[in-house]
Amino acid sequence: MKSSIVIKRLYKDYSKKFLNKIIFSAFFSIIVAVSTSGIAWLLDPAIKKIFIDKDETLIFVIPGFIIIAFATKGISLYLAKSTMIKVGEEIKKILQFDMVSSLIKADTKLIDTKHSGKFISNLTFDVTHITNMLSDAILALFKDSLTLLGLLIVMFYQNWKLSLISIVMIPLATIAAKTLGKRISKVATEAQERSGFLNSYLIELFKNHKLIKIFQKEYYEIDRSDKHLEILKDKTAKIRTVYIRVSPIMETFTGIMIAILIFYSGRLIINEEIDINNFFSFLAAMMLAYQPVRSLATITMAVNQGLSAARRILPIIDNDNEIADKENAKDLIIKNADIKFEDVIFKYDEKNDTVLNKINLNIEGGKMSALVGHSGSGKSTILNLIPRFYNVNAGDIKIDNQSIYESKIKSLRNHISLVSQDTTLFDDTIKNNIAYANMDATDKEIHEAARLSYCEEFIKELPNKYETIIGENGIRLSGGEKQRISIARAMLKKTPIILLDEATSSLDSETEEKIQNALNLLTKDKTTIVIAHRLSTILNSNKIFVIEKGEILASGKHNELLESSTQYKSFYEKQVRKE
């Protein structure tokens, strides 16, 4: 993405909204420029009238004007900066909101391709650099350009010959800044990548802290964290080092300029071509011009850093989802909730192997159907295709003879509930976790769903009952308790289609019995598709599909499959031997 396109986009979508505040800040930047120039100019009459002519009438007036000039500069600078700080934070919030909104609505495929820690780095590291460019750089551009212009006017007013010598510093500083700007863009990209790696590592670290302790890998992880932090430190130090490289360059240029000016102005004073008061006023203007020249030189680096970040952020904000409603999509109307897969072919990525190969399924509405097969056979993929977490590569999926690809996604998902072995809960109250399925549900409805899912028996033992905060992903609850909350949530949604992905795996027999009872209530007279490790939980299914390497090998009821399918019989006999 070209820099000019990025700048236009950032202005149109973000900065333009605050144009009135930016103009307000620019107005006070003009006052800063005028007052700074006034300070330099006042030294001329101060030296001439007070120190040379010894005019006592101005001994109070000129210092008074100098105080006014400094105070005006300080107040105006404060108003300009505080306004742009607020603008910067507003832009930062909008950028972050746009990115978060895009990620929330993004296809599952996009989220799967990148670690969440790297998205967090985009959201913090990159957005900060963009807002710095849009707020700090804009202010510096106004303030320092105008201040430099005002000081140049003072300098040329005092002596045009000296001014021509001094302005040589400006193009030299610009060339140096341009060179450093290219370097900082590269280093900033590297730093962002390392920040993303560190965030990813930290998320994994907190997520797996029990695993670290049981395998006694604390010192191993401490060493790994040190390496991550060391690399990030080096990258960050490089950025700051590149920034301060301007200082020796500018100091050297300034020293050379002052030395040449003192030599040349000395000759002018000796020849009486310039007065001492003119020289000091000129010198003050030139010294005051040092700061805006340096600031303008570093703007290039800040802009390069911001543009580099924008090139990473904008594609995420602009992401076009593959999974979207067609132009003439209709609401899905459920009658029997029959589900059909017609010659479905699917693979997660063009580079990957085919996961499902011409799958044909007839799932009867209001009944329970089960999927059986080895890990990686495609069972979970089938479940994920029904609510359109992914799109098929070929074929069609129909519910009551309505293609889900011709139906509105919201309408489709409104009729589906999912209960998975990987229960996802929020760091919130039990009540809010259950109510997530239906925010308009009454307390009575929430309590009824909790009762039917056997949640009440552990909720009543908690100190704050339904208002108990359960921690990150329900860390304060057992696996069975989390699973029951997930079932309560599905009950509250009251959908005609239920997807169960190994919902009773890894549980003790007593907890499994409770969850199985809750699931029986949840799935009664509903179209239910279940994946289960334990065949005992699906023996009474209306139909069982045996899946191997993305293909349907056999289908039928339990007793039929024992006779007709060697694969199913093998699964069953292994289960019996285990039990």
Q: Lowest-confidence range among 61-65, 182-186, 357-361?
A: 182-186
87, containing H or E segment: helix 61-105
CATH architecture of 3-317: Up-down Bundle (1.20)
For the chain, the average pLDDT equals 78
The 10s digit of each residue's pLDDT in 243-277 is: 666 667 667 766 777 777 777 777 777 777 766 76
578 pLDDT exceeds 60? no
Please state the pTM of the whole predicted model: 0.71
> 401-405, 430-434, 469-473, 573-577 — which is least confidently predicted?
573-577
What proportion of the chain, given as a percentage, has pLDDT over 90?
0
Of the CA atoms within 13 Å of residue 220, those in its CB half-sphere come to 9
Amino acid at 260: I
Q: Which residue has the higher pLDDT, 427 or 115?
A: 427
526/411 Cα distance (integer angstroms): 17
Confidence of residue 217 (pLDDT cuts 50, 70, 90): low
Name the architecture of domain 339-578: 3-Layer(aba) Sandwich (3.40)
**Please, are residues 489 and 481 in contact by the beta-carbon 8 Å criterion?**
no
Pick from 163-167, 177-181, 445-449 the range whose average pLDDT is largest: 445-449
55-64, 304-313, 402-411, range with greatest mean pLDDT: 402-411
Q: How far apart are CA 50 and CA 44, in angstroms?
A: 10
- Of 311, 120, 131, 296, the C-alpha closest to 206 is 120
Phi, psi of 148, deg, nearest 5: -60, -40
Residue 80 pLDDT level (bands cut at 50, 70, 90): confident
In this prediction, residue 172 carries a pLDDT of 65
All structural domains of the chain with their residue ranges: 3-317, 339-578
Contact 31, 341 (CB under 8 A): no
Kindly provide the b/e burial profile for residues 78-88, where b requires at least 16 CB atoms within 10 angstroms of the residue's own CB: ebbbebbeebb
